[in-house]
Homo-oligomer: A and B are copies of this chain.
Amino acid sequence: MARVYNFSAGPSMLPEAVLRTAQAELLEYGTSGQSVMEMSHRSKYFDDIIVKTEAGIRKLLNVPDNYKIGFFQGGATQQFAMVPLNLMTTGKADYLVTGNFSNLAAKEAAKFGQVNIVASSKDRNFTYIPDVTKVEYTPDASYIHICHNNTIFGTTYQQVPQVEGIPLVADMSSDIMSMPVDVNQYGLIYFGVQKNVAPAGMAVAIVREDLLGKAPENVPTMMNYTTILEKDSMYNTPPCWCIYMTGLVVDYLQNTMGGLEKMHEINKAKAKVLYDYLDSQEFFHNPVEKEYRSLMNVTFTSPDPDMDKKFCAEAAAAGFVNLKGHRLVGGMRASIYNAMPPEGVAKLVQFMDDFRKANS
């Protein structure tokens, strides 16, 4: 059948041009006579791939020289443990809870020290982001942790906490590379690649150098940022295929799409089409405070759960798949990451309106 419009929250769509390159090179990468999946991670071919991928991320995200970029395994969930294991030098840290993953990050960190939930939007079912300028941060917190875009609830920060002397740590799994980011605002940025970058199986961490070298000696080797970063992500065999695919996507975003300013414009325009439609009628409803609406994950409901179910089934049959909302929220969710083409959103809105007319 034809390729579908896949609105999955992650893993999710990849640019078709990137998939075609991966397909063409699958048996023989360049003149190597091998698949990327077969080559020694110590070979010159793979060294070229990993160096290019790191440099590509550095350029695309404008990462300053005093930050290291590393490739890790275990997804963002493993980062939830690595952050406190490496950075919680005062034995305490501040967490802002704005959804499911920031809550899980806080719970994981509490295994290793004192976690202060200094702000939460749970009171209104995570439909907004707290005002970060009014939060009382802990003076001797080792760091402040946020989840920048909340995949399940469809919210995003517009402004991030900035406290002199306390590094900000951000999970950007669901919006990295969707827009420019001022890396200098952060001590550490991490993201699982499976939403907006590459196939599942890798997390990337961007770490300010002064935060390294402080982990206790008994931290598991694979959870020690310093050990992995000192070996340029080659302490052991890295997830080579994910690194290769990340390199292809980064190159595509930089050279085909024109960089993250342009990608941001496209993403804003895509989201506007969907939110404008949601605001223009009363059959479908988005519950998020307008100021905090995510550009990546657009949640909505129809008049009732049975109708939601009918909508998802008919949408899937029409080639719009994975629109079912997360079980914590119900309803629908359209994840419209970089690789979702504008026409996918336009056609979805047309389908929604046809459905609305047929079912009102």
Residues of A at under 8 Å CB distance from B? 1-4, 6, 8-14, 16, 19-20, 22-23, 26-28, 31-41, 43, 73-78, 80-81, 85, 108, 111-112, 192, 194, 198-202, 217-223, 235-242, 245, 319, 321-322
Q: Are B3 and A37 in contact (CB-based, < 8 A)?
A: no
Given contacts A8-B43, A200-B238, contact A220 B2 (CB under 8 A): no
Report the minimum CB–CB distance from A49 to chain B (whole Å).
12
Given contacts A23-B26, A27-B19, A194-B237, contact A222 B78 (CB under 8 A): yes
Select the residue from A33, A236, A238 with max chain B CB neighbours within 10 A. A236
Q: Which residues of B contact A16 (CB under 8 A)?
A: 27
Q: Are A221 and B77 in contact (CB-based, < 8 A)?
A: yes
Q: Which residues of B contact A23 (CB under 8 A)?
A: 23, 26-27
Q: Which residues of B contact A202 (CB under 8 A)?
A: 201
Q: Are A26 and B33 in contact (CB-based, < 8 A)?
A: no
Given contacts A6-B38, A235-B77, contact A218 B112 (CB under 8 A): yes
The 5 lowest CB-CB distance pairs between A and B, nearest first, are A201-B239, A4-B33, A81-B220, A73-B73, A37-B199
Q: Are B108 and A322 in contact (CB-based, < 8 A)?
A: no
Report the minimum CB–CB distance from A301 to chain B (whole Å).
20
Partner of A220, one of B40, B198, B220, B245: B220
18 A-B pairs with CB atoms under 8 Å apart are A1-B28, A1-B31, A6-B33, A12-B38, A13-B38, A26-B26, A33-B321, A37-B198, A37-B199, A73-B78, A74-B222, A78-B220, A78-B222, A111-B217, A200-B238, A201-B202, A201-B239, A201-B241
Q: Once the chains are docked, how many angstroms separate the CA of A219 from the CA of B201?
A: 21
Q: Are B108 and A221 in contact (CB-based, < 8 A)?
A: yes
Partner of A73, one of B37, B80, B111, B201: B201
Partner of A38, one of B11, B218, B237: B11
Report the minimum CB–CB distance from A343 to chain B (whole Å).
16
Q: Are B201 and A77 in contact (CB-based, < 8 A)?
A: no
Q: Once the chains are docked, how many angstroms separate the CA of A80 from the CA of B198?
A: 27
Q: Once the chains are docked, how many angstroms separate the CA of A57 from the CA of B1?
A: 30
Q: Are B14 and A37 in contact (CB-based, < 8 A)?
A: yes
Report the minimum CB–CB distance from A42 to chain B (whole Å).
9
Partner of A8, one of B6, B39, B238, B322: B39
Select the residue from A11, A34, A43, A219 with max chain B CB neighbours within 10 A. A11
Q: Which residues of B contact A34 (CB under 8 A)?
A: 3-4, 6, 13, 321
Report the minimum CB–CB distance from A15 to chain B (whole Å).
10
Given contacts A4-B33, A26-B26, contact A220 B221 (CB under 8 A): no
Given contacts A75-B236, A221-B108, contact A319 B33 (CB under 8 A): yes
Q: Are B240 and A201 in contact (CB-based, < 8 A)?
A: yes
Q: Which residues of B contact A220 (CB under 8 A)?
A: 78, 81, 85, 108, 111, 220, 223
Q: Which residues of B contact A31 (CB under 8 A)?
A: 1
Q: Once the chains are docked, how many angstroms separate the CA of A74 from the CA of B28?
A: 26
Partner of A3, one of B27, B241, B321: B27
Report the minimum CB–CB distance from A237 to chain B (whole Å).
5
